[in-house]
Amino acid sequence: MPAIYVAGVGCTRFGRLDASLLALLAEAAQQALHDAGVEEVDLIVVGAMNPEEFTGDGTLAPLFASFLGKAHTPAFRVETGTSSGAGAFAAACAAIAAGFARTALVVAGEKMTGLATPRVAEILSRMIDPTERRYGATMPALAAIVTRAYARAHHLDARALALIPVKNHRNGARNPLAHFQAEITVEDVLGSRLIADPLRLYEVCPISDGAAAAVLTAERRPVRVAGIGQGSDHVALRHRRSLTSFRATQEAARRAYAMAGVGPRAVQVAEVHDAFTPFELINMEDLGLAEAGKAVRALVKGETALEGRLPVNPSGGLKARGHPVGASGLAQIVEIVWQLRGEAGGRQVREPRLGLAHSIGGLASVNWVTILTRD
């Protein structure tokens, strides 16, 4: 891939917001365009999981381009479930690399809180294999199966796992854009109600609204897209090789590292997909940031805290920043850009030169890894 740079980024506050999906996308986009110092782009790529059902908006790409006042800019939408924001970013990079565009606006978002929770759960369950859905599986139920298998394989107890949301809420409390900006304790986690045994409320991301955006260009800028990789796996959990790791992450990481010409040791800050917080440990291991079963040690020792050797989810992650599904993959990339530029305010980690964003689509059936560097 030829060199592609992130010229500007933007992100709305995440949470239960009194704004339409189009308004959220536009707010993030305007920020990114302003940050990049450009007014026009050659292409708009929109990431969203299911605007048709969440908000009733169809053909979202031209609808958004019209709303933004750029009705004549070519626009298309990319969908990979809950990793759609990362997918849109990758497709925009490909379009620039192919010479279809010189500058592109990537924007991704979702508006979820307008519907009752059971309806949201029904929409999210479309990511589940139809047979498993027919037997009553829900996303939290499947995540609980994975968590149970992982915890048993590596002898993890609930107190250790509770440190993940505690860390991520601590980071979120330092992120003015986060859905939750309050710290929590291990006792809060262990005392919260069971969602799907062993997962408790404070181990599951909230339902959020929000949008993120980035402007990409072939012109030299400080932050460069060093590597992009995608990996896929069976949608059906019962067909997977393993329940304690995600092959889709491993493949995505292998490809992204190869393109970037680096290994996991080069990663200085990471945003990983913690919609169900125990997945943070699985992701670290699949990304090569820890050996199998050893990620918990880094967590307990504080190595993944803001001040640690390898800060993970400085933004607060999906747990505390929130998870407007289509937005999250791009919001992670935005956070890494801010970290690389030293603009992350109270949650800034120490002068990273290389960061990684990892996004899961469905229950890890369509994952993306994006590596960014500050040259």
Site residues for its own copies per CB under 8 A: 1, 49-50, 52-53, 56-63, 65-66, 71-81, 87, 90-91, 93-100, 123, 125-127, 129-130, 228, 230-236, 239, 247, 251, 361-362, 365-366
Least Å from the CB of residue 153 to its own copies? 22
Which one, 90 or 160, has the nearer CB to its own copies? 90
Instruction: Decide the pairing of beta strands 103-111 and 209-217.
Output: antiparallel
Which one, 71 or 182, has the nearer CB to its own copies? 71
Which one, 51 or 314, has the nearer CB to its own copies? 51
Which one, 38 or 123, has the nearer CB to its own copies? 123
Least Å from the CB of residue 4 to its own copies? 9
Least Å from the CB of residue 87 to its own copies? 5
Contact 329, 368 (CB under 8 A): yes
Which one, 217 or 348, has the nearer CB to its own copies? 217
Which one, 1 or 149, has the nearer CB to its own copies? 1
Of 127, 90, 126, nearest to 108 (Cα)? 90
Least Å from the CB of residue 97 to its own copies? 3
As a whole number of angstroms, the distance between CA 334 and CA 355 comes to 11
Give 276's strand partners.
204
Which one, 203 or 233, has the nearer CB to its own copies? 233
b/e code 230-253 from CB counts within 10 Å (16+ = b): bbbbebebeebebbbbbbbbbbbb
Contact 298, 310 (CB under 8 A): yes
Does the N-terminal peptide bond of residue 198 adopt cis geometry, omega within 30 degrees of 0?
A: yes
Instruction: Compute φ and ψ for 44, nearest 5 degrees.
Output: -120, 125
Least Å from the CB of residue 113 to its own copies? 19
Instruction: Compute φ and ψ for 74, nearest 5 degrees.
Output: -55, 140
Show the tokens assigned to 140: 């939290």
C-alpha Rg value of the chain to the nearest Å = 19
Least Å from the CB of residue 141 to its own copies? 16
Least Å from the CB of residue 367 to its own copies? 9
Contact 126, 363 (CB under 8 A): no
